[in-house]
Amino acid sequence: MSAADGVLLADWGTTNLRAWRLDRVGKVAARADFALGVARLTPGEAAARFESEVRPALAAQDLPALLCGMIGSTLGWTLAPYVDCPASLESLAEGLSSPAPGVRIVPGLRGPGLIGPDVMRGEETQILGWLAADPARLSGVHTLCLPGTHAKWVRVEEGRLIRFVTAMTGELYDLLGAQSVLRFAGPPGPIDLVAFDAGVAAAADGGALAARLFGLRGLTLNGGLAAEAAPSWLSGLLIGAEIAALQPGFATRTGAAVHLIGATRLCGLYARALAAKDVSCEIADGEEAVLAGLTRIWSAIA
């Protein structure tokens, strides 16, 4: 097979890998998920398992491949050096790395953070896909938020990624719920929206987060909050604090919407917290965005 026969695209992250085979006219011919996150791989294992498991599963043994995500980090297949902000489709395409014949990896993105350099891998491809979904997005200034383990707040201007800041909101939630004095009594159940909203309100302006966090212990010990509602309250507090601290600095103008890209459930919680602060939003599916971004990059280099 050759590039004319199609391409294998993959979003290879810390915990999972999802891949698509596009046919010669650019339509998805096959899709698969793999529990092959880079955190589970030993050095040198990525290349072998990509060839022995991923390619055969999608009947893509001889197709060119384009990958994004943590596979391009020091934990992955090979280091795909960061591209500096401001970044565009062209600069990301120029920064592709090739760890093996026919395989290319999208570089990460680097820019000035709050206290030093900030970095991302994978989200830059989702942003390119979001831009590609509507030509109108290639002009003007936009605020994007990509919720997740390490949430990203991003400023896009005239189709270029200008700056971003990372918040470890999802990771904090997992660590606090599993290992801290606030640890949950059991696995979190369905979201309790009343408790979530109370947590968002408790976040206030996002300041004194360490003190506000300990307030959860006081609430549960003194009967102010049921133990089973604690995960929802904590989620609201952390998301509310993130939004209060970061959204104002990324707002493009009064009344401008925040564009959320990611999993529907998590984006819905961010939308709810944003609405509590009278900020509107639009939600885009994260998988659709990363596939569109990989397709856009492939089209630029094929």
Sign of CA dihedral 167, 168, 174, 178: negative
Give the pLDDT band of residue 88 (cuts 50, 70, 90).
very high
Give the pLDDT band of residue 1 (cuts 50, 70, 90).
very low
Residue pair 153/167 in contact (Cβ under 8 Å)? The answer is: yes
Instruction: Count CA atoms within 13 Å of residue 184 on its CB side.
Output: 18
pLDDT, one tens digit per residue, over 119-136 is 999 999 999 999 999 999
Average pLDDT over residues 253-266: 92
Residue pair 173/238 in contact (Cβ under 8 Å)? The answer is: yes
Give the pLDDT band of residue 256 (cuts 50, 70, 90).
confident
> Which tokens in the block code for residue 279?
């900020």
For 151, phi then psi, to 5°, come to -65, 145
Per residue, the 3-state secondary structure of 263-300, as one string, reads CHHHHHHHHHHHHHCCCCEEEEEHHHHHHHHHHHHHHH
pLDDT, one tens digit per residue, over 147-170 is 999 999 999 999 999 999 999 999
pLDDT at 10: 98
Rounded-to-integer distance, Cα 111 and Cα 118, Å: 5
> Matching CATH topology for 1-111 and 122-302?
yes
DSSP H helices in 1-104: 45-49, 55-57, 89-94
Rounded-to-integer distance, Cα 189 and Cα 250, Å: 33
Range 122-302: architecture per CATH: 2-Layer Sandwich (3.30)
Average pLDDT over residues 3-14: 90
Residue pair 300/92 in contact (Cβ under 8 Å)? The answer is: no
Rounded-to-integer distance, Cα 38 and Cα 204, Å: 37
**H/E segment holding residue 226:** none
Give the pLDDT band of residue 3 (cuts 50, 70, 90).
low
Q: What is the DSSP letter of 204?
A: T
130-136 contacts, C-beta under 8 A, 24 or more apart: 130/259, 130/261, 130/284, 130/289, 130/292, 130/293, 131/156, 131/159, 132/292, 132/293, 132/295, 132/296, 133/284, 133/288, 133/289, 133/292
pLDDT at 254: 77
pLDDT, one tens digit per residue, over 20-60 is 999 999 999 999 999 999 999 999 999 999 999 999 999 99
> Which tokens in the block code for residue 242?
């993130």
The CATH superfamily holding the domain 1-111 is 2-keto-3-deoxy-galactonokinase, substrate binding domain (3.30.420.300)
Measured CA to CA in angstroms, residue 116 lies from 18, 72, 87, 209 at distances of 32, 21, 18, 21
- The domain locations on the chain are 1-111, 122-302
Average pLDDT over residues 110-124: 97
